[in-house]
C-alpha cells in the first residue's frame, strides 16, 4: 500500500530505478546524502509530500464520514452532504472570497487561514442548524434532519449563486475553482489542523462500530441492546461536521468519495462496521490519490480540478449501482 501511495504521489516525475525510495528515505535522514537527488528531494519534500498527505487525509475522512452517514440513515446511498455540511462550508468560503475581494483583498499571509476558517465555520453552523431543526421533545428525527439538510443545501446553493452573479472576473475564478476542489497549494502550515481532526475522527469512529452495527437493526432495537441512540446520533453528526468541514476547508468541494467508497467496500466485505470503517478509510485515501494523479496527467501541463475527476469516476459507478439494483 505504501508503494502504491508513493507511486501515485510521485506522478509523472522520471527518476532512475531506486531513486524514488532513496529520495524518500533521505527526507528522514535515512538514505545518506546524494547531490544528484536534490531535485527529487525538493519535489518529494516540499511539493508532493504535503499534497499526498492532504489527499490521504481528505480521502480518508470523506470515506469515514460517508460510512457514518450511511449508518445513521440506514441507507447505503447516503452521503455526508445530506446534512448540509458541504454546502455550508462552500458558503462560508464564498463569503470569505467575495467579501475579502470587496475589501481590497486579504493579506496574503492570512488569506489561506481566513478562507479555511470561514469554510469550517460555515459547515459547522449549517450542520448545527440542521441538527437543531431535527430535535423535538428530546428526540432527533433522522427524516427531519434529512429534509432540513436538503432545504439548507438549496438555500446555501442559492446564496453561492448570488455571490457568483455579483463577483468580478478574478473573484469568480477563485470561487469557481474552490467549488470544484483541488489539492494544489498544499503546505505543511495548512495541513496540520486537518491531520489533527482526521486522526481524531479516524480513532473515534471505530469505537462506535458495534453501535453502528446495532443501529442497522433499527433505533428501538439498538436501544434494547443497551446503546444510547440519541448520544450516538449526536456523535455521528458532530464527527461528520468536523471531518467534512475540515476537508472542504482544506481542499474545496470533492464529491462522490463519501458515497461511492463505503458502498463499494460494503459490497466487497459486508456491512460489519468493524471492517467497513478502516477499509473505507484506506480505499478513500487511495481513490483520492488516484484521482489527483489523473487530474495532473489528463490535461498536462494544465491541471483539472479534482472534483471534476471524482465526479467522472463516481457518477458512472453510481449509475451502475442504480441499474444493478433494479435487476
How far are the Cα atoms of 106, 172, 184, 301 from residue 298, in angstroms, in the given order? 33, 24, 15, 9
Cis bond before residue 301 (omega within 30° of 0): yes
pLDDT in the model for residue 89: 86
Q: HSE-up of 144 (CA within 13 Å, CB side)?
A: 11
Q: How far apart are CA 280 and CA 264, in angstroms?
A: 9
pLDDT in the model for residue 111: 60
Q: What angle do CA 260, 88, 277 make, to 5 degrees?
A: 35
User: What are phi and psi for residue 217, nearest 5 degrees?
Assistant: -80, -20
What cell numbers appear for 175 in the block? 470561487
* Concatenated DSSP letters of 82-125: GGTHHHHHHHHHHHHHHHHHHTT---TTTHHHHHHHHHHHHHHH
Strand partners, 139: 136
Q: How far apart are CA 206 and CA 202, in angstroms?
A: 7
Selection from 130, 108, 131, 128 nearest residue 120 by Cα:
128
Q: How far apart are CA 308 and CA 47, in angstroms?
A: 22
Nearest-10 crossing angle of helices 257-269, 273-297:
130
Q: HSE-up of 145 (CA within 13 Å, CB side)?
A: 26
* pTM for the full predicted model: 0.84
Q: HSE-up of 243 (CA within 13 Å, CB side)?
A: 32
How far are the Cα atoms of 79, 138, 173, 234 from residue 132, in angstroms, in the given order? 19, 11, 35, 11
- For the chain, the farthest-separated pair of C-alpha atoms sits apart, in whole angstroms, at 69
Q: How far apart are CA 102 and CA 110, in angstroms?
A: 16
pLDDT in the model for residue 145: 83
Could you tell me where the DSSP H helices lie in 252-272?
A: 257-269
Helix, strand, coil percentages in the chain from 3-state DSSP, rounded to 5: 80, 0, 20
What cell numbers appear for 132 in the block? 437543531
pLDDT in tens, the chain (327 residues): 655 555 555 555 544 545 554 555 455 554 555 555 566 566 666 677 888 899 999 999 999 999 998 888 888 778 888 788 888 888 888 888 887 765 555 556 566 677 778 888 888 888 888 888 888 877 778 788 888 888 888 998 899 888 888 877 877 887 887 788 888 877 777 788 888 889 999 999 999 999 999 998 888 888 888 888 888 988 998 898 888 888 888 888 888 898 889 988 988 888 899 999 999 999 999 999 899 888 888 877 778 888 888 888 888 877 877 777 666
User: What are phi and psi for residue 140, nearest 5 degrees?
Assistant: -110, 120
* Concatenated DSSP letters of 128-173: HHHHHHHEETTEE-HHHHHHHHHHHHHHHHHHHHHHHHH--HHHHH
Q: How far apart are CA 91 and CA 101, in angstroms?
A: 15
Amino acid at each position: 500500500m505504501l508503494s502504491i501511495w508513493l507511486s501515485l504521489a510521485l506522478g509523472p516525475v522520471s527518476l532512475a530505478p531506486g531513486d524514488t525510495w532513496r529520495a524518500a528515505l533521505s527526507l528522514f535522514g535515512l538514505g545518506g546524502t546524494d547531490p544528484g537527488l536534490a531535485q527529487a528531494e525538493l519535489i518529494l519534500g516540499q511539493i508532493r509530500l504535503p499534497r499526498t498527505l492532504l489527499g490521504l487525509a481528505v480521502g480518508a475522512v470523506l470515506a469515514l464520514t460517508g460510512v457514518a452517514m450511511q449508518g445513521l440513515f440506514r441507507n447505503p446511498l447516503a452521503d455526508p452532504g445530506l446534512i448540509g455540511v458541504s454546502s455550508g462550508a462552500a458558503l462560508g468560503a464564498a463569503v470569505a472570497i467575495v467579501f475579502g475581494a470587496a475589501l481590497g483583498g486579504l493579506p496574503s499571509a492570512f488569506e489561506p487561514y481566513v478562507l479555511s476558517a470561514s469554510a469550517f465555520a460555515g459547515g459547522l453552523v449549517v450542520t448545527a442548524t440542521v441538527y437543531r431543526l431535527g430535535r423535538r421533545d428530546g428526540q432527533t428525527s433522522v427524516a427531519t434532519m434529512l429534509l432540513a439538510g436538503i432545504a439548507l443545501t438549496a438555500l446555501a446553493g442559492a446564496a453561492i449563486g448570488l455571490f457568483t452573479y455579483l463577483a468580478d472576473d478574478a473573484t469568480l475564478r477563485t470561487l469557481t475553482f474552490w467549488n470544484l476542489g483541488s489539492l494544489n497549494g498544499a503546505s505543511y502550515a495548512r495541513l496540520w489542523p486537518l491531520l489533527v481532526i482526521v486522526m481524531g475522527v479516524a480513532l473515534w469512529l471505530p469505537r462506535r462500530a458495534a453501535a453502528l452495527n446495532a443501529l442497522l437493526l433499527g433505533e428501538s432495537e439498538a436501544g434494547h441492546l443497551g446503546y444510547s441512540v440519541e448520544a450516538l446520533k449526536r456523535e455521528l453528526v458532530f464527527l461528520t461536521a468536523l471531518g467534512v468541514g475540515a476537508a472542504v476547508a482544506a481542499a474545496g468541494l470533492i464529491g462522490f468519495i463519501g458515497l461511492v467508497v463505503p458502498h463499494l467496500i460494503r459490497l466487497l466485505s459486508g456491512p460489519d462496521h468493524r471492517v467497513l470503517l478502516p477499509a473505507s478509510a484506506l480505499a478513500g485515501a487511495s481513490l483520492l490519490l488516484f484521482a489527483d494523479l489523473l487530474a495532473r496527467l489528463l490535461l498536462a501541463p494544465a491541471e483539472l480540478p479534482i472534483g471534476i475527476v471524482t465526479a467522472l469516476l463516481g457518477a458512472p459507478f453510481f449509475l451502475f449501482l442504480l441499474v444493478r439494483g433494479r435487476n
